[in-house]
């Protein structure tokens, strides 16, 4: 079998290798965003999946690391209140000094998911109105519309008089 990833080989990445891979991932991320702006969504999705695979397998970053970083960025961003304070002319540092830290992320735990949704009570569809399980029987109007025939099969199509040649031009 061919060794594709360094984690399969058992050798640890050096810091230089890691920086090169992160630079490559950053270029791929920029290319993905460019593809999305140019409305090439299939290409952007393929690049996104490839970036996720590289981060997971090569850089050994779990989804919890990415979620944790996003939560820390969101907590330090200040949200809409920070934007409103800046719009009034206050500096961000002065506003944060008055408020103190809004949120502190101490740890993020990613729980394993089961293959099938639970059948026991307590699923989202049980206690949230309007949410249905994927196993509900009603397929909706689109499926019923697709089941209708596109023409009446009892009527013979008008192809008997057609011979394949064009009619003569009238002058």
pLDDT in tens, 134-148: 655 556 666 666 666
Which tokens in the block code for residue 107?
Answer: 């740890």
Question: Is 67 in contact with 110 (CB distance < 8 Å)?
Answer: yes
How far does CA 132 lie from the centroid of its chain? Answer: 21
Q: What is the pTM of this model?
A: 0.32
Angstrom distances, CA of residue 12 to CA of 15, 18, 25, 63, 83: 9, 10, 19, 20, 43
HSE-CB of 106 using CA atoms within 13 angstroms: 0
- The H helix count followed by the E strand count for the chain is 8, 0
CB neighbour list of residue 37: distance below 8 Å, 6 or more residues apart: none
Q: Write out pLDDT tens, residues 107-128.
A: 878 777 766 655 566 666 666 6
User: Shortest CA distance to 105 belongs to which of 79, 78, 72?
Assistant: 72
The enclosing H or E element of 67 equals helix 63-77
Q: Say which residue the tokens 């593809």 belong to.
A: 35
- The pLDDT tens digits for 14-60 are 777 788 888 888 999 999 999 999 999 999 999 999 888 887 777 66
pLDDT for position 43: 92
Q: What is the C-alpha separation between 40 and 31, in angstroms, rounded?
A: 11
């Amino acid at each position: 079998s061919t060794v594709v990833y360094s984690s399969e080989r058992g050798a640890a990445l050096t810091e230089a290798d890691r920086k090169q891979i992160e630079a490559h991932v950053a270029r791929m991320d920029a290319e993905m965003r460019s593809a999305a702006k140019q409305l090439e969504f299939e290409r952007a999705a393929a690049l996104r999946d490839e970036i996720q695979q590289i981060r997971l397998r090569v850089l050994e970053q779990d989804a919890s690391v990415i979620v944790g970083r996003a939560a820390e960025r969101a907590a330090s961003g200040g949200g809409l209140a920070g934007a409103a304070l800046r719009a009034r002319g206050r500096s961000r540092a002065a506003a944060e000094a008055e408020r103190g830290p809004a949120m502190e992320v101490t740890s993020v735990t990613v729980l394993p998911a089961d293959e099938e949704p639970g059948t026991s009570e307590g699923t989202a569809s049980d206690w949230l109105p309007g949410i249905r399980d994927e196993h509900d029987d009603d397929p909706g109007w689109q499926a019923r519309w697709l089941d209708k025939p596109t023409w009446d099969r009892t009527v013979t199509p008008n192809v008997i008089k057609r011979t394949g040649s064009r009619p003569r031009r009238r002058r």
